Chain A
Amino acid sequence: MQFSSRRFADVVVASPVGRIDHANAGLFEEALLPLLAQSNIDKVVVLLDFAGVEYISSVGLRVLMAAVKQAGAHESRIAIACLQPIVAEIFGISRFDRILDLYPSVPDALARFSAPALEAFNAVKDRSAT
């Protein structure tokens, strides 16, 4: 599993890639929770772009639950965008779709959270396209 993140105005978009299973959920946790702790201080939203996540096991979902609780305790926010179909099914089966704030795409989520973040995201996208 790989993990990267980038800040767009008042939103941090984090992008895990690969399988979040029993073997590497710990790596996911090690990457995510400090990012979330910093976001609590900076008062920014953490948006997980799950476009590159092929599978998530119960242990990975448990990390997300811990993240939601941590965010809730600090009145900050975490959301997830762009679930692959298999991962979306796993979220439904586990009922995590009722707990997590889910969006079809990163721009959809940013549009909901912050106009400056969406603008910054689109600017980067436009630059990469040219």
Chain B
Amino acid sequence: MRRIRFWGTRGSLPVALTAAKVREKLRAALRGASGRVFASDVEIDAYLDSLRFPVSGTYGGHTSCVEIETGGSEYVLCDLGSGVRPFGQAAIARHGAASSQTYHVFMSHVHWDHIMGLPFFTPAYIPGNRICIYGSHAGLEAALRRQQDQPSFPVDFSIFRASIEFVHLEPGKPYDIAGMSVTTKLQKHGGDSYGYRFESNGRTVIYSTDSEHKLTDPEETQAFVAFFRDADVVIFDAMYSLADAISIKADWGHSSNVVGVELCQMAGARHLCLFHHEPASDDEAIEGALVEARRLEEITRTGAPLRVSAAYDGLEIEI
């Protein structure tokens, strides 16, 4: 595994920046640039790079879709949220529509935000492409077909011209797929969700979204610690604050930045990536959760430092 590329990082519902929010960012950037003279785009870029991310960028955006670059010729994706649309366009732009590709897609679960991108995934309409969809839910294929039934969507699943295969993965059993060892784990979420542990060439990536961790049952906690053990990157559902996750949003099936730090510290993971952002959170709120998670890691650190980042659409993490 070489790299993780995020195409969709938002939970529940895609989110777009409003004109008012863009204006706020412009105002802050222009205020900071007051009196400066930029002789070239390089200087402008250097200035933009010096700004805080909530001013110069945005966390976006699309719902869950994460690409893992394996170094092989086949694509690997986690989930089919709305982020799979720009991913598909980028893949076609790279290879051309006539070049057949293989896509391995690992599904955490079939809630709408994790499947809504498939009808807009152009490679699925192109003959010659092969799409293997893996998951541990018995109803995976039915859920994907149903979302394209009338009257929900005008184009039936049967219109797809790519070869589409569904592969059931038994939780806890390692599978050899796309040059990686892939293991799933049952997670606490309405209708169940599954986390993924991807291992290849001594590198490990965890994709664990839509998962509530109460950490009150030591056996269950240790099972997740073992699943996350020594991971290079843990992509983690940090949708709510801890207080919300265990009060008004208890049993909603999501977790927090605080629990992400705790689990990763216990597991000896190296990099925690906050993911599945709450749609009501603006860029400043997500940045705040990131800053606080980093501070928590710092004040509770007992071993090697844990790097903490927050995923945004377009983020790339070298593994």
Contact = CB atoms under 8 A, between A and B. Distances in A.
A99 B300 contact: no
A61 B241 CA distance: 12
B215 A61 contact: no
Given A90-B296, A93-B296, A61 B242 contact: yes
B292 A93 contact: yes
Contact of B258 (A22, A55, A94): A94
Nearest to B257: A93
Given A55-B300, A58-B215, A58-B258, A94 B295 contact: no
Contact of A94 (B214, B215, B256, B299): B256
A62 B258 contact: no
A95 interface: yes
DSSP class of B's interface residues: helix, strand, loop or mixed? helix
Q: Interface size for chain A: under 10, 10 to 19, 20 to 34, or 35 or more residues?
A: 10 to 19
Interface in B82-140: none
Nearest to B222: A22
B242 A58 contact: yes
A95 B257 CA distance: 11
DSSP class of A's interface residues: helix, strand, loop or mixed? helix
Contact of B243 (A59, A69, A95): A95
A124 interface: no
Question: Which of A55, A57, A58, A90: most chain B Cβ within 10 A?
Answer: A58
Contacts of A61: 242-243, 246
B259 interface: yes
Interface string A73-103: 0000000000000100110111110110000
B50 interface: no
B247 A58 contact: no
B35 interface: no
A78 to B, nearest CB: 14
A115 interface: no
A59 B259 CA distance: 9
**A-B pairs, 10 with minimum CB distance:** A95-B243, A94-B242, A95-B241, A93-B292, A94-B258, A59-B215, A93-B296, A96-B243, A65-B246, A58-B258
Interface of A: 22, 55, 57-59, 61-62, 65, 69, 86, 89-90, 92-96, 98-99
